[in-house]
Structure 1
Amino acid sequence: MPVSSPPLDFDYLIVGGGAAGLSLAYHVAQEPRLANKKVLILEPEAKDQNDRTWSFWTDAPTPFDGIVAHEWRKIAFRSPGFDRVIDLGCYRYKTINGLDYYRHVRRALADKPQFTWVPGYASSLQPLPKSGVKVITTAGEEFTACYAFDSRPPDLRQLQQPQKHRYLLQHFVGWEVETDHDVFDPGVVEFMDFRGEQHHEARFMYVLPFTPRKALVEYTLFSEKTLPKAEYETAVREYLEALSGADSYRITAEEVGAIPMTDHPLPARVGSHIINLGTRSGRAKPSTGYAFKRIQQHSARLVAALAATGRPPADPTGDKWQFRLFDTLLLDIMKRRGELTRDIFRDLFAHNPVERIFRFLDEQTSWADNLRIMNSVEPGPFMQSIAHVLRGRPGSRK
């Protein structure tokens, strides 16, 4: 008689308890058809600090509306020759603090005995000979599961193929400040303020105002290399000094980050039993860096298939090729002539309703709207990038 395989420890193994891993766990917990599935969450950190914030726009309720720190109905786009405050109509721009998110998900899982938490790092994740996966932690512990969901960030330094793909960063330093006088308009997000010097790159200020005297003020760049920290801080300081009433302020928190923006193919799965999550599966949109809502959509898609069929979907992300191409074209322009990014976004906001722009960035527009978007911007830079795509290698500044 054939020797049967030993039973697996868990149904699902989630490697990493950050935004992507916790999102999947939350969606599993909300699905009654998966209530009998045993889930292991492997995460080395306590997640008891407010280590980041996530912002996103939406025209529909989300599972996390109860922990939204602030939301806005208007955004401002500012550049030389075009300066406008834009009503978002049916959309809202929202921000969630990382610590609120971690606590919210942990509370939702606390009374669910199907979830097991193990502190630690995965040193090895590999398929089993017949079916399932095995993880070995750095402490030497071993666990098996039917499916593994891997949210560890990819090591793009090891994967890079610069002769074929584009590798940029969205990098920033932000200060949360409190002023002695009313300075900010708490009803308007300064979404992109491109009025500063571009230095052959895409550079803008981004401001989330929480009250007239409290805001997150961030200097953001799209480019290949980060700057010395003092350069970001100088830009933030000069922006604040130019605001009426902001002559006296206190820095209460700091946010520093660098998000990979690349058209390097990031696989949605590794074989049939390991599914990638978060930035490992390309959930940070390559041309903008926004990830939170894409992570939620990915989690919902995975859980719907698991509940209906017992398996992840054959196409885990549902990404469409035309939007990957649009991202590649913009990345190519940013790499060649980053300063043109300001003009591209200026044309987008000057010639399109904001609802169309958001649907486009959410990859939900029709072919007709895609054509309207492309017809609203100067075609020359995109035509050059199309030529670079056809020849199979990125463009470069000349």
Structure 2
Amino acid sequence: MESDFDYLIVGGGAAGLSLAYAIAQEPRLQHKRILLIEPQAKNQNDRTWSFWTDEPTPFDGIVAYEWSKLAFRSPGYEQVFAMKQHRYKMIRGLDFYQFVHAALQAAPQVTRVTGTVESLENTAAGVSAHTSAGHFTARYAFDSRPPRLEKDLAKYRYLLQHFVGWEVETDHDVFDSTTVEFMDFRGEQHQEARFIYVLPFTSRRALVEYTLFSAEVLPTAEYEAALRSYLSETLGVQQFRIEAVEQGAIPMIDHPLPARVGQHIINLGTRAGRAKPSTGYAFRRIQAHTQRLVAALAATGHPSEDLTGDKWQFGLFDTLLLDIMQRKGESTRAIFAQLFQKNPLERILFFLDERTSWLDNLRVMNSVTPWPFLRSIGHVLRGRPGRR
């Protein structure tokens, strides 16, 4: 096996595989040699990715489910919205892995190696990687390993979006298979932001998740009690079967995550801040980042100077919401209720995608009670996070 490559991709998750696939599909990069180093084979359905989009994606062929309506619910306001420009979609992890692996298997310029990267360093000519599978060099490295952070609690905000989800099946019709329950805030908040999220696959089968925004995960029994309460008391379901379980915790932080390390090491995925700090959604942001990287490589041979295209104002909005969640998480419910009550759904989705104009940003900010945000702006200006 050759030890010198054009592109070295570290990690075979959503970010690493998306980039490897996109490079292999780009005709202008067909001659580039790609090394993909994965710590282990991805051959299980270890996660699902859900996202909304108003345009085709490279992975539409493996979308497992798609919805045209979205529901928001809180004690004082609830509404089911028909999506006009967008569709909400779900991709199963195993389908994604198998699809990309098959494409890479057919691409002769791609080499896949099982191993872990022990060190990754910039050199004058590119990068040098010492791995458990040997030593490799490349012109550029793209690193999707989870970031290792030394927390600075006096300066930044560190929360988690954590959840337990049950894929359940009932004996009678319960779910509206056309409608995603995007946020159901009708349950107790316990001084945090807590809601139920439901992806209905049929009228009798759905993924039901209990999701929280807070600093610490809960004992598993607390998630399970909330799920049982929702199914029995809110939906009136007494008998159901749990067909699958998923559990996770996504960092929601405003700690800076650099887009690159030196001249030749480019960060990907959560390492590059692609999980949106205020929502945890990452899949579409990973795809946008991938498209930006590949377009620049194909056009110029080099990544662009502005690797992500992120706009500072959306980073500020994320920090303000994280600050509110950290010091008074239960107020998050009212903020989202105001957003959904006073804005068209498409504006909210474009805002969360960081694609709105300055005018629409002002409309969104003017739709919510200003005091919590003004207080958090004060914390940002003083350079310290808010506390309860």
Aligned counterparts of 1:270 and 1:243: Cα–Cα separation in 2: 49
Aligned length: 387
**Pair 1:250-2:241 in alignment:** yes
Aligned to 1:112: 107
Aligned to 1:12: 7
Aligned counterparts of 2:105 and 2:27: Cα–Cα separation in 1: 16
Structure 1 window deviating more from structure 2 (56-65 vs 285-294): it is: 56-65
Q: 2:59 aligns with which of 60, 64, 82?
A: 64
CA shift digits 1:203-261 (9 cap, x unpaired): 00000000011000000000111101110011001111125562111111101000000
If the length of structure 2 is used for normalisation, what is the TM-score?
A: 0.98
**Pair 1:46-2:41 in alignment:** yes
Aligned to 2:304: 313
* Preserved contact between residue 77 and residue 83 of structure 1 (Cα < 8 Å): yes
Q: Which secondary structure state, in structure 2, belongs to the residue aligned with residue 373 of structure 1?
A: helix
Q: Could you tell me which amino acid in structure 1 is paired with residue 296 of structure 2?
A: A
Q: Which secondary structure state, in structure 2, belongs to the residue aligned with residue 183 of structure 1?
A: coil
Q: How does 1:65-214 map to 2 (within 5 A)?
A: 65-128=60-123, 130-139=124-133, 141-156=134-149, 159-214=150-205
Aligned counterparts of 2:297 and 2:364: Cα–Cα separation in 1: 36
Aligned to 1:393: 384
Aligned counterparts of 1:324 and 1:245: Cα–Cα separation in 2: 41
Shift, 1:327, TM fit: 0.3
Q: Which secondary structure state, in structure 2, belongs to the residue aligned with residue 211 of structure 1?
A: coil
* Preserved contact between residue 56 and residue 292 of structure 1 (Cα < 8 Å): yes
**Pair 1:299-2:290 in alignment:** yes
**Pair 1:331-2:325 in alignment:** no
Note closer, same or farther for the CA distance 1:167–1:143 as it changes in structure 2 (3 Å cut).
Answer: same
Q: Could you tell me which amino acid in structure 1 is paired with residue 127 of structure 2?
A: V
**Pair 1:359-2:350 in alignment:** yes
* Preserved contact between residue 188 and residue 194 of structure 2 (Cα < 8 Å): yes
CA shift digits 1:169-214 (9 cap, x unpaired): 0000000011111111101111000000000000000000000110
Shift, 1:137, TM fit: 1.3
Aligned counterparts of 1:244 and 1:232: Cα–Cα separation in 2: 17
* Preserved contact between residue 14 and residue 39 of structure 1 (Cα < 8 Å): yes
Aligned to 1:4: none
* Preserved contact between residue 41 and residue 116 of structure 1 (Cα < 8 Å): yes
Q: Could you tell me which amino acid in structure 1 is paired with residue 356 of structure 2?
A: T
Query: Which runs of 5 or more structure 2 residues have no equivalent in the other structure?
Result: none
CA shift digits 1:107-148 (9 cap, x unpaired): 2222111000000111111112x2211111135x11111100
* Preserved contact between residue 333 and residue 340 of structure 1 (Cα < 8 Å): yes
* Preserved contact between residue 170 and residue 258 of structure 1 (Cα < 8 Å): yes
Q: Could you tell me which amino acid in structure 2 is paired with residue 45 of structure 1?
A: Q
Aligned counterparts of 1:253 and 1:286: Cα–Cα separation in 2: 28
Aligned counterparts of 1:8 and 1:104: Cα–Cα separation in 2: 27
Aligned to 2:370: 379
Structure 1 window deviating more from structure 2 (21-30 vs 275-284): it is: 21-30
If the length of structure 1 is used for normalisation, what is the TM-score?
A: 0.96
Note closer, same or farther for the CA distance 1:244–1:198 as it changes in structure 2 (3 Å cut).
Answer: closer
Q: Could you tell me which amino acid in structure 1 is paired with residue 257 of structure 2?
A: L
* Preserved contact between residue 6 and residue 32 of structure 2 (Cα < 8 Å): yes
CA shift digits 1:322-361 (9 cap, x unpaired): 0000000000000010001101100000000010001100
* Preserved contact between residue 180 and residue 246 of structure 1 (Cα < 8 Å): no
* Preserved contact between residue 180 and residue 248 of structure 1 (Cα < 8 Å): yes
